[in-house]
Amino acid sequence: MGQTKGKNERLRGLIEPAIAQLGFELVELELVSERGASILRLYIDTIPPGTKERGVTVEQCSLASRAVSEVLDAEEDAIPGQFTLEVSSPGLFRPLTKPDHYARAVGQRVKVKTYDKHHDRRAFIGELRKVGEGNITVDVDGVEYSIALEQVAKANLEPEL
């Protein structure tokens, strides 16, 4: 897992400046192998100034894909062998990977999974109540749980549909 995390951080370091230059945020990066083929998935987003509206268009994803392709082509050993690049919006169940993602999600329903058991559970689905210095508070059925961000294995919005 450490080697994969290191590779992903290296890729993020290469890709994030190109995405930011276009006015987008790199929400999440996944490098996976499916049926023997490497796939690099990028989830990008933007926040129009002064609003909470979010989202990217197909054209914006295409623009970001071209920019990232140029960066990866210039860095010959970024991803060994052939790979497929996918760029898309994070969607309704958008991942929460940075402190400001959590801050923007306060008051919304979230799903948080922890590395280790916390209060005899590893999954918390409820309203994100607050974000503090290094922790979050999730209200699950009227009970508030404070969870250290370093213990969060995965978190995303969990809208009720």
Write the pLDDT tens digit of every residue in 93-124.
989 988 888 998 999 999 999 999 988 999 99
Give the DSSP H or E segment for 121.
strand 121-131
Domains of the chain: 2-88 (3.30.300.70), 99-157 (2.30.30.100)
Write the pLDDT tens digit of every residue in 14-53.
999 999 999 998 999 998 888 888 899 999 988 655 555 6
Q: Crossing angle, helix 58-74 and helix 2-21, to 10 degrees?
A: 120
Is residue 29 within 8 Å of residue 40, measured between CB atoms? yes
Residue holding tokens 């799903």?
111
